[in-house]
Structure 1
Amino acid sequence: MSDLDHDAAIADERRIAARRLLADALVLADGPHRDEFAAIRRHAEWLTTAFRRFLGYEVVVEARFARLLKAGPGAGAGRGLTRSTGTPFNPRTYAYLTLGLAALVTASDQVLLSQLVTDIRGAAVDARIELEDAGRQVERRTLTAALRQLVLWGVLVEVDGNLGDYVEKEDAEALLSVDRDLARALIAGPLGQANDAAHLVALAREPGHHGVRVAVRRRLAETPVVLRDELDTDEDDWLRRNQRREARTFEEFLGLHAEIRAEGVALFDPADELSDLAFPGRGTVAQAALLLIERLVARLRPHEPTAAVSVADPLIDETLAALVAQYGRKAGWQRDLIENPTRLRDEVTRLLAHMRLLRRPVTEEEGVVWEVPAIAARYAARVRERQPRAVQEGIPL
């Protein structure tokens, strides 16, 4: 192998390792990405320096795990955890999750489930958090969901017994092994500096001494699109001056391609690996969301737009109802969604808001709930319905 080939191979391996960290933030040695974990271990020093310089993120690499300590995206911008059933974590589940971590950072290498439950309830007393009676099955189910998340992350391992038994029986027992180092590494925010939860979220989002360049790079890396009218003056000026250079850097570092437009900049992953939320995508919500944007763009802005346009919930409801009537049953959309228009609207608008294709207006107007930003025209769909094969071939049905 020539020196050039060797250098290219190293660059490719580093890029693969960096992409895995950005995609998962937590990579376990015995998890599903063992090959990438080995690459992360080999290039730990380079990755630590590169992430710190480029995005202001810290990297922790241990024998059993690698952790990218990413900054939070800010209030209302993240996506929550879900149970195995798909049910979103509620505040109670998050409380048990954080109390569990608080108890585990000083736990023994192995702990009985009963002792862990006692320690969690003790941590709740110290934090002045009121918990319901552990005898209630709904409370045990919530606690178990939090502990199962810790098992999924590798902080806990079920050595003997099953956490699921605790849901049915309060006196069910299980022996758990504990990875204290991983428990400590999970928290990325500056806990020691925060006065309360809202302050912690705000602090985590700030780039600190890294300044404007890191703030903009994080938004490019962590959000589907960066809209210029959402940047402050310094951020917008920096991005305009450096957008071509940054596009090349993102491609070399993470294999991402930039699309630069008048209204903003978006990074695309040709391999479609760096996000767990695909758009356009499959399923009722994704299909309805794409069709909704197509209808809104056509109705509100028939020509290429230059600014955001206001839209109220009644128009969204009306448009979704028309889409359900036209496509709902033919496309096999979920019955529980098409029969519950409010839930369908909430899930569709939540997806579009996450993808930055709908957003809350900066200034309040009576009756206006959403804005369609200019970038939405980029995603407008063109629907072509397939005819049955007999019709296509001219064969009488």
Structure 2
Amino acid sequence: MPGSEEAGTSRNIAQQQRSHQREEFRAAVRALLMTPLMTPAHEDFPLVRRQADMLRGWFSRETGWPLHIEQEGARLYKRPAELSATTRGLPDYDRRRYVLLCLACAALERSESQITLRVLGERLLQLATEPALASLGFVFTLGTHHERRELVAVCKTLLEIGVLQRVVGDEDAFVHSGSEQADALYDVQRRTLAGVLAAVRGPSTWRPEEAPETLDERLSALVDEHVADSDEGRRTALRHGLARRLLDDPVIYVETLNAEARAYFVNQRGAMSARLCDAAALTAEHRAEGLALVDETCLLTDVAMPAEGTDAHATLLVAEHLAGALRISGSVEADASPHPTTFSEHEVIAFLRDAKMKYGRYWRKSAREAGAERELAAIAIERLEKLHLIEVGDDGIRALPAIARFGLGETEIRDPRETRGVQAAEESGSA
């Protein structure tokens, strides 16, 4: 009947629209998690604007993170649940470079709509002479190649997040020559600049006599949020804190939670992980030791594993080696000699030195040189620590339970020519 056919067509169209909306919402959630400060130039900004209402509601309900979306950009105010994590932060940034980044933002806040690299450097020189910085031993003169490189690194960070937009010029020429002719001109995006700080309370609001003294106290004061003094308020705070960790960190280990958070996590992690996975297109891995939300595409992460390249391959080899040691340790009988679960950096270096004999021909040339295993070991340890697969302490490197997922066994290396021959033989046989 014509009416039935039309009704069926309408249902199919409605289902397709709902499916499209759902996929667009997921893409927007993932985009904001990876780029919480987003400008209109970002490829996913249009869909973020289209899904604005749903996104605001979801992030507020599940994580407690405020989300502001305007025509000029979007800002997800992500606040970490774990302030003591040493693996967070911008790559290649130390405390000195963070000071320069803050000074640069302060200088841009007072600047015109355009500024040159050289003028920004001069403003930093003025701000760096503040007595409070000088009393801490901070010195910035812009007179050396290293200091010019630091300034350019800060500018490139501001370019990446959209605070600055290059009009003309070359930063690298400024680093190498430092002459008057080597310069760059930028547009200052004030709306983006205003969204850089994700604190609950800005540090400029503290009176000198009330300002926190230690770094830990300052970090806590920046993100201290009001929690309603009720059972529901405390449960909501626990849920938000755990959701933030699940979306921000590679894995949550039960042993790292306090008693109250552990009780809530054990009872609610199934329902919580299902909601987060559904919205962000993740896969939950439940283990007795904890929970990980895994992105099968390896796109929703700062450190992908496995990945391509020599450094990534060396990291995977170290992970497999440590996973094997952890597996052996877990299977040792009570009366047997215990297998070590803690390793030194020297042992990792020695392992990579042996691995270089087997896999070196697949690595980049510099990684095959004598002594290169030291650099590879440092890179691998840093990556594994960021992924919460190992813990680095004074007593050495301890493999954590989640590293067991990389216990792949013996690697089989095939020559591409042999692989093509096997495929041809199989195709010939099937024909």
Shorter chain as denominator, the TM-score bin is 0.7 to 0.9
Tell me which of 115, 124, 144 is aligned to 2:119: 115
CA shift at 1:263, angstroms? Answer: 1.2
CA shift at 1:218, angstroms? Answer: 1.2
Conserved in 2, the CA contact under 8 Å of 1:220 and 1:226? yes
Q: Does 1:183 align with 2:193?
A: yes
* 1:1-397 map, 5 Å: 1-2=10-11, 3-31=14-42, 33=43, 36-72=44-80, 73-82=82-91, 88-126=92-130, 128-129=133-134, 130-167=138-175, 168-172=177-181, 173-189=183-199, 190-192=201-203, 195=212, 197-203=215-221, 209=227, 210-302=236-328, 309-327=341-359, 329-336=360-367, 339-360=371-392, 368-388=395-415
CA shift at 1:222, angstroms? Answer: 1.1
1: CA distance, partners of 2:308 / 2:397: 24
Aligned residue type for 2:128: A
CA shift at 1:200, angstroms? Answer: 3.6
**CA-to-partner distance for each residue in 1:249-300, whole Å, 9 max, x for gaps?**
0122211111111111111123332113211222223222222232233335
Conserved in 1, the CA contact under 8 Å of 2:39 and 2:192? no
1: CA distance, partners of 2:357 / 2:314: 12
- The number of equivalent residue pairs is 380
Aligned residue type for 1:383: E
1: CA distance, partners of 2:87 / 2:252: 15
CA shift at 1:29, angstroms? Answer: 0.9
SS in 1 for 2:392: coil
Aligned residue type for 2:97: T
**CA-to-partner distance for each residue in 1:299-357, whole Å, 9 max, x for gaps?**
35327579x93333343333233222332x23325534763333222111111111111
SS in 2 for 1:186: coil
TM-score under structure 2 normalisation? Answer: 0.78
* Structure 2 counterpart of 1:85: none
TM-score under structure 1 normalisation? Answer: 0.84
Aligned residue type for 1:104: L
RMSD, aligned CA: 3.0
SS in 1 for 2:133: coil
1: CA distance, partners of 2:223 / 2:321: 35
Larger Rg: 2
Runs of 5+ consecutive residues of structure 2 not aligned to the other structure: 1-9, 228-235, 333-339, 423-431
Conserved in 1, the CA contact under 8 Å of 2:341 and 2:399? yes
**CA-to-partner distance for each residue in 1:9-56, whole Å, 9 max, x for gaps?**
33322221111100221222123x1xx211111222332232122112
Conserved in 2, the CA contact under 8 Å of 1:74 and 1:204? no
Runs of 5+ consecutive residues of structure 1 not aligned to the other structure: 83-87
Conserved in 2, the CA contact under 8 Å of 1:112 and 1:175? yes
2: CA distance, partners of 1:391 / 1:38: 48
**CA-to-partner distance for each residue in 1:46-91, whole Å, 9 max, x for gaps?**
3223212211212222323212121135234434434xxxxx2344
Conserved in 1, the CA contact under 8 Å of 2:125 and 2:142? no
Conserved in 1, the CA contact under 8 Å of 2:125 and 2:140? no
SS in 2 for 1:132: coil
2: CA distance, partners of 1:340 / 1:153: 33
Aligned residue type for 1:176: Y
Aligned-residue sequence identity (percent) comes to 25
Question: Structure 1's 134 and 314: CA in aligned 2 closer, same or farther, altered over 3 A?
Answer: closer
More off after superposition, 51-60 vs 334-343: 334-343
